[in-house]
Amino acid sequence: MLIREENKKGQVTIFIIIAIIIVGGVFVFFTFKDDLISSEIPASIEPIYNSFLSCLEDETLVGIDVLESQAGYISLPDFEPGSGYMPFSSQLNFLGSPIPYWYYVSGNNIQKEQVPSKRNMEEQLGDFIEEKITGCIFDGYYEQGFEIVQGEPKAKVNIRDEEVEISLEMDLSVERGEDGVLIKNHKLNVKSKLGMLYDSAKKIYKEEQESLFLENYAVDTLRLYAPVDGVELTCSPMTWGADEIFDDLEEAIEANTLALKTKGGDYSLGSKENKYFIIDVDIDSDVRFINSRDWPHGFEVSPSEESVLISKPVGNQPGLGILGFCYVPYHFVYDVRYPVLIQVQSGNEIFQFPVAVVVQGNKPRQALDAIAVESGYPELCRYKNVLIEVMTYDTKLNPIGADVSYECFGTTCDIGETFLTESLSGEFPQCVNGYILAKSEGFEDAKYLYSTTESGSVDIILDKLYELDIELKLDGKSYNRDAIISFVSDKFSKTVVYPEYKSVELSEGQYEIQVYVYRNSSIKLEETKHEQCMEIPKSGLGGLFGLTEEKCFDVKIPAQIISNALSGGGKESYYILESELEGSNTIEINAESLTLPKTIEELQNNYLLFEDKGLDVRFK
């Protein structure tokens, strides 16, 4: 009996195991059925699918190449121009291609960084693949009678050190006769060292921000190739040409920058000179530092008289014969600004990014905090735990689709998207007095003050934009010469350079409309001179002890001709109704003329009269 019971128990155990296997098999089938079905590709269709994968790989490689050549960007950040004071824009033009600076100084002297995170690079590469993959060419297979239909693509990218993983969700249907297959998921690993090169680039950038090694090399170059401070034993004045100094500096900076290397690269430690050019950061890849005298740069020096640096001797003046010798002390202060392009290379792949090098008052700029480098998702956005429902409408309370984000103390987090028929229920980070931002094509951006300390709902109304032609009249007659037309509201300001541009996009709201009309003139401003004084080391022995004295020199402003002068226009405060925008194609603005000025006094008087001039605004 005991043996039979054991046999029965063994049979029950076997049945349980079989049942588990069956249930598990069913679960696996339904869970991975798409992948299982995708793997069963008829032999006649395999060449087509191989062509598709080859196309996917080619487009991925193109996107990787763009990322590497454009400092980690496919879609470039907004362009910001430089100025005469700071020659850098937000992008370096390298062989005709724009490369965003990872560090630069804006035209109004604000230090800025735009270092892409790896997450951002993955998203941009995914968007690039989604845009390009539907353009794969199958013409030869169409001629053979195949029907090929592609669905909407959704790509996910993972950048690793030596490969890029692509996971593409897209229905690919291929049929001919009785053969047919529907493939939904496509996975591909593309060999690329993008991840490794990017990490090396970040390592170099962090070292630059912490130690300012590029600025320190620039200071050394400045002191080697330009007169900065010192004393020469001579009884004759010493002079230097500023243009010649700057030419020498450009040449030296270009050569010395190219000589820089990093540890682990292709360099030799055979001499002390070579060691000087080695940067203390260990990078396995080859690294190049490039500067060109043809790139934007700025050199300034003071004191100088026009383009000449002058130092006068001490000791040959009456009463100083007791010294028994003559000497010439000099001290000049330089501001130097130029870009450096950093290239990290492994095999045929090159990742490159530019940075601005800034020396002010003979000293390196102030170092940025290294934690300012974006290394991933913003910290605030990691903790979204407050559920908020958002719905977006136009001014007639019709639902519209919009991209929704949240801004809290300078950090912006993407939340999601509303649609025509449904709201967005999204999780927001906690913040007091943050702003919900809504953007939709054809509408003004909306900004709504909202504290996300607890769950709630928000309705946001966006103003529709209407494009209108501009018809400018002067004294009732059509005017097609130079004018500046501005539409200023509490939300934004739009300026139109007329007549090159004759249209504007406006929404309902209160505006101050301004029109400045310019006509050709020939007002001549005579040459002027003024005296400028500054503190310099005191002549004689006092200068050796840090004493200073005031030194003055003449600054000459050359004569110039004012070729365009204000000769008409005015201002008008006007509330533009949506009904006016909706029912019109043109905004007509009638301004009054002013007397064409012939002297600087008459020009100044025109600006005073302009403040009292109004405008006649009509919609038609």
Classify residue 355: in a domain, yes or no.
yes
Domain match, 227 and 364 both: yes
End-to-end CA distance of the chain: 105
Domain match, 307 and 177 both: no
Query: How many domains, the chain?
Result: 5
Q: What mean pLDDT is predicted for residues 389-402? A: 91
Domain match, 597 and 493 both: yes
pLDDT tens string 138-149:
888 888 888 888
Contacts of 600 (CB under 8 A, 6+ apart): 523, 525, 562
Classify residue 82: in a domain, yes or no.
no
Lowest mean pLDDT among 159-163, 178-182, 270-274, 572-576: 270-274
How far is the CA of 321 from the CAs of 233, 234, 317, 335, 544, in angstroms?
15, 14, 7, 37, 19
Query: How far apart are alpha carbons 501 and 488 in whole angstroms?
Result: 17
Host domain of residue 582: 466-619
pLDDT tens string 291-322:
998 898 888 888 876 566 777 666 444 444 33
Does position 254 have pLDDT exceeding 90, yes or no? yes
Does position 35 have pLDDT exceeding 80, yes or no? no
Q: How confident is the model at residue 512 (pLDDT cuts 50, 70, 90)?
A: very high
Query: How far apart are alpha carbons 570 and 609 in whole angstroms?
Result: 9
Domain match, 241 and 330 both: yes
More confident residue, 504 or 5: 504
Tokens of 282: 């260990």
Q: What mean pLDDT is predicted for residues 23-42? A: 52
Domain match, 219 and 354 both: yes
More confident residue, 242 or 57: 57
Q: What is the pTM of this model?
A: 0.55
The beta strand positions in 326-418, using DSSP E, are: 328-331, 333-346, 349-360, 363-364, 384-393, 402-408, 411-418
Domain match, 213 and 361 both: yes
Domain match, 549 and 587 both: yes
pLDDT tens string 464-509:
999 999 999 999 999 988 888 889 888 777 777 788 788 888 999 9
Domain match, 153 and 200 both: no
Please give the pLDDT value at position 198.
95
Please give the pLDDT value at position 374.
42
Q: Which of 326, 321, 362 is nearest to 539 (CA)?
A: 326
Classify residue 107: in a domain, yes or no.
no
Does position 511 have pLDDT exceeding 50, yes or no? yes
